[in-house]
Amino acid sequence: MMKIDLNKPEYYVNRELSWLKFNLRVLREAGVRNLPLLERLRFVAISASNLDEFFMVRVAGLIEQKAAGVDHVDAAGLNVEDQLRNIALSAHNQMKLKYRYFFALVNELEKYAIRFSRVKDVEPDQRRELENYYQEMVFPVLTPMAVDAARPFPFLANKSLNIAVELRDQKGEQKIAFVQVPSVLPRFISLMGRDGERSYVFLEDLIMEHCQDLFKGLTIVDMVSFRITRDSDLEVEEDATRDLMKEIERSLRKRKRGAAVRLEINATDDKYLKDFLVENLDLEPRDVYEIQGPLDLTFLNKFIDQPGMDQWKFTPYTGQQPEELPDYEDLFGKIREHDILLHHPYESFDPIVKLVSEAAEDPQVLAIKQTLYRVSGNSPLVAALARAAENGKQVTALVELKARFDEENNIVWARRLEKAGCHVIYGLMGLKTHSKIILIVRKEADGIKRYVHLGTGNYNDKTAKLYTDLGLLTANDQYGQDASAFFNVLSGYSEPPVFNKLVMAPIGLREKIYELVDREIAHVKAGGTGYIAAKMNSLIDQPVIRKFYEASQAGVKIDLIVRGICGLRPGIKGVSENITVRSIIGRFLEHSRVYYFANNGNEELYLSSADMMPRNLNDRVELLFPVERKAHIDRVKEFLDLCLKDNVGAHGMLANGTWRRAYPHGRKRISVQAAMMQRAKSHAPKKSMPMEQRLKPMVRREE
């Protein structure tokens, strides 16, 4: 049998195009009719926000490569220009679909007396209300910016909304000016009609209606609103700096002035303004997105979250009391009894906050060490760490200053923690610390005891209500020793240790994955069976994909659950016919990383902060850790099984790289997220039930 070359481009999907397909799956949730109306609209907003970041980082990076003359060909056989051309084609089609969904959903809203209106279409009394609002709130903050020989093309901030105005003076000479739509004011103005009808007017429309006031003595020829997306990737010279925080702050200032990579502009019959912008922003025609509708649909998030909108949204869900924690009394004692598995957002994130808060006040606690990658705006965990330091405990906080788009937030937290007396570290040179770990050192009657939390998601109490993640609480000495050794590596000059339980990237996690896959291959070759189930956010690392291909060729069955980017093509004869790939889009963002290996009956299951991407395996400090209690393994397996049976939010990937939505087709509807919510409710300690439920009589059902 001829050996197949597993490096052939046709066996791989380009990273950027795969990401665009993921965003398309998100966007298409807006077309799912059995979802609440405003939740469908929220998927439009999410896809818009995703696309912004994609252009700011990924497209910007490709444009920089092209400018530098880089002609690298990726695993899928595409060079930089190929990628930019295909991205533009896909992104333009996606923008068109996004606005089709937007207008369709806005039309549905009108059935409920909720509409977006032009200034010229509102009732006279509403017009007067708008006039007052403009004079009192808007006009004072407007600054018209002329463009001429003395006043060159101004800098327009990233993602800012602007109005370009073409003018003629009394001599007939053409002039150009800009008006920035103030970001300090709400994007839309709410108006109540006489019959309870709610109308919403866009701020830019109100400004354009009064634009003549800003240019007295001139004639307005044309006006068009536009928005610029700029290169926002940070360039941090770690090797050349003694103060990483100052270097990050310098780069953040620079970010705001990055080169333009995309122009969104309202469609106009007059090409002059568009051409003027394209020329001055140094853009290519494919970088221009002409839009029939309001720009920047991310505003929809604020629109949806207004008071009085609940009837068109999901029924609120509150994370349940974890089934292994009937109460939060004596958390240390409960963790000593046995490891505790937590599944967010189905189970509450409160135990983590409670644990660190109690540790801050507990006189027996000597030290707390924690990694912080992304935290909430008013983080109770950061507050608890600060209190702990103020209470005289040894507190070490690793704050990752290079967490993309959270840099400013993390600088604020780092300074607050330093002020409170915490030892703040920023990780290792050239590496992002993405691992999620807490270590609490406590003096007890029988000596020093270490308590550890390990997770797949960030220590963010806000996103823990929206992202699905798994976490483990343990007092196992081997985990405790590993946690101490891990923090010693981060804070000192310690050599990477030989861990008991933990596996760390970039110095062993990749090799561990290879080892586990190779073991499944060996079982098959020895006449046994091999099976792998892996859930992650992204799979793009070519060597890992190649290893999965080798396993498939050997007869190992592999089920992959990949939310976002996937560079692997399943179902290729002779290469990947034993591999399935599915993605689940739902109410919550699937974020947990789970790696299961059947091991010929001696199953092993690992959780991790790491996806299978080069950046995670090569350029980040990540952790992989085993789940060892049989009850926990069974519980996670049940979750994985539901992921694989989901026919509500699941999409399957075909061999050609396209995705097909799963449908029940007359079978029972299975939603992993709905099932996990129900499971969390049914397994929650009974005393956490509302009183009316607790007092409800039990009815015996005949079997």
Active site positions, annotated = 434
617, containing H or E segment = helix 614-618
428, containing H or E segment = none
Identify the residue whose tokens are 């519980």: 635
Q: Give the whole-angstrom CA distance, residue 444 versus residue 107.
A: 64
**Per-position DSSP letters for 618-683, written without gaps between them:** HSEEEEEEEE--HHHHHHHHHHHHHHHH--SSEEEE-TTS-EEE---TTSPP--HHHHHHHHHHHH
Closest residue by Cα to residue 417 from 459, 442, 384, 463: 384
Please state the length of the chain: 703
On whether the CB atoms of residues 280 and 226 are closer than 8 A, the answer is no
Helix 350-361 × helix 380-390 angle, to 10° = 10
Q: Give the whole-angstrom CA distance, residue 66 versus residue 638.
A: 47
Identify the residue whose tokens are 């939390």: 453
Q: Give, in order, the Cα–Cα distances in Å from 505 to each of 432, 515, 516, 644.
A: 11, 15, 16, 28
Determine phi and psi for 161, rounding to 5 degrees. Answer: -100, 130
**Type of residue at 475:** A
* Residue 282 CB neighbours (<10 A): 9
Q: What is the dihedral of CA 106, 111, 116, 120, to 10 degrees?
A: 140
Q: Read off the DSSP letter of residue 578.
A: T
* 35 three-class SS: coil
Q: Give the whole-angstrom CA distance, residue 127 versus residue 133.
A: 10
Identify the residue whose tokens are 């300074």: 415
Strand partners, 620: 432
Q: What is the dihedral of CA 349, 355, 356, 358, to 10 degrees?
A: 130
Query: Per the structure block, which two tokens stand in for 334?
Result: 């409960």
